[in-house]
């Protein structure tokens, strides 16, 4: 791997937990649990190779449509995850952040999340950003509302720049590499503004099986691409 061209910002649509579980005759929740374990594996690896920000899609604004018991299991996963791994995240200098409207989650979920954010706020390694109750259209809608209010209140005028638009979003960074696991070829309302020039990789590997080697292969594929940004090859 060429260490000088590691993607700075990687976004992953962690898909396929349910199908992975079904294949082994387990309930869907078992897939989500193994999926949480993979978050640890991939975050530690991304941190080690110098990725700056890893944005993981864990729960979309559309995932509330799922059965109540599945949603309620997912709401409890942050507690399981941070109780188990916050120490290791601290030891590895990893900062935890979130993107999404957290207010819709139960109090205990919000408490655990806020604690992890506060505890790791001073860390300077990987920014592990977990997108929950995140949807790109919702993000853009909220951004427009805030901008309109800022104009109305005289805090800014209406000549907004691209950079300032990014500043109104939950995730301001440009994504370099976007990966979707488990074979679906769609974006599912994820980071629409931010992936304008991302390299896209769709892998058949289910998220619970997505390990260091799988990420390494994606990065090698990314490094073999010619990112022209509308210009010509160097």
- Which residues does 20 contact at the CB level (< 8 Å), separation at least 6? 31, 34, 35, 182, 206, 207, 208, 209
Residue 64's SS3 state is helix
The least distance separating ligand IPE from the CB of residue 182, rounded to whole angstroms, comes to: 6
Residue 63's SS3 state is helix
Q: Which long-range contacts (CB under 8 A, 24 or more apart) does 26-33 make?
A: 28/70, 29/70, 29/73, 31/206, 31/208, 32/70, 32/73, 32/74, 32/77, 33/77, 33/80
Say how many Å lie between the first and final Cα of the chain, rounded.
20
Which lies closer to ligand IPE via its Cβ, residue 150 or residue 209?
209
208 binds, among Mg ion, ligand IPE, none (CB under 5 to 8 A by kind): none
176 sits near Mg ion (criterion: CB under 5 A): no
How far apart, in whole angstroms, are the C-alpha atoms of residue 169 and residue 139?
6
**Which of these is catalytic: 2, 17, 47, 63?**
63
Question: Is 15 a catalytic site residue?
Answer: yes
139 sits near ligand IPE (criterion: CB under 6 A): no
Question: Is 63 a catalytic site residue?
Answer: yes
The least distance separating ligand IPE from the CB of residue 70, rounded to whole angstroms, comes to: 8
What radius of gyration, in Å, describes the C-alpha atoms of the chain?
Answer: 18
The 170-209 contact track toward ligand IPE, x by CB under 6 A, reads: ------------x-x-x-x---------------------
Q: Which two tokens stand for residue 119?
A: 């505890």
Which lies closer to ligand IPE via its Cβ, residue 36 or residue 116?
36
With CB under 5 A as the contact rule, the residue among 9, 10, 13, 15 that binds Mg ion is 15
Contact footprint for Mg ion (CB under 5 A):
15
Q: Which residues bind ligand IPE (CB under 6 A)?
A: 13-19, 57-60, 63, 74, 182, 184, 186, 188
Catalytic residue numbers, as ranges: 15, 63
């Amino acid at each position: 791997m060429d260490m000088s061209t590691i993607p700075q910002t990687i976004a992953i649509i962690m898909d396929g937990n349910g199908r992975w579980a079904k294949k082994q005759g387990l309930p869907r929740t078992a897939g989500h649990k193994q999926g949480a374990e993979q978050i640890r594996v991939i975050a530690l690896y991304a941190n080690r190779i110098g990725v700056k920000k890893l944005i993981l899609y864990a729960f979309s604004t559309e995932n509330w449509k799922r059965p109540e018991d599945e949603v309620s299991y997912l709401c409890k996963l942050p507690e399981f995850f941070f109780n188990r791994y916050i120490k290791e995240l601290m030891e590895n200098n990893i900062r935890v952040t979130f993107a999404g409207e957290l207010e819709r989650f139960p109090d205990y979920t919000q408490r655990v999340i806020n604690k992890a954010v506060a505890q790791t706020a001073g860390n300077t390694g990987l920014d592990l950003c977990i997108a929950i109750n995140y949807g790109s259209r919702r993000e853009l809608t909220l951004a427009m509302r805030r901008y309109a209010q800022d104009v109305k209140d005289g805090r800014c005028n209406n000549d907004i720049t691209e950079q300032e638009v990014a500043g109104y979003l939950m995730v301001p960074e440009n994504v370099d590499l976007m990966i979707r696991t488990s074979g679906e070829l769609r974006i599912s309302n994820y980071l629409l503004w931010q992936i304008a020039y991302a390299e896209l990789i769709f892998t058949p590997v289910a998220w619970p099986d997505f390990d260091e080697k799988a990420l390494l292969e994606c990065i090698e594929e990314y490094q073999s691409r010619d990112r022209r940004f509308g210009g010509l090859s160097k």
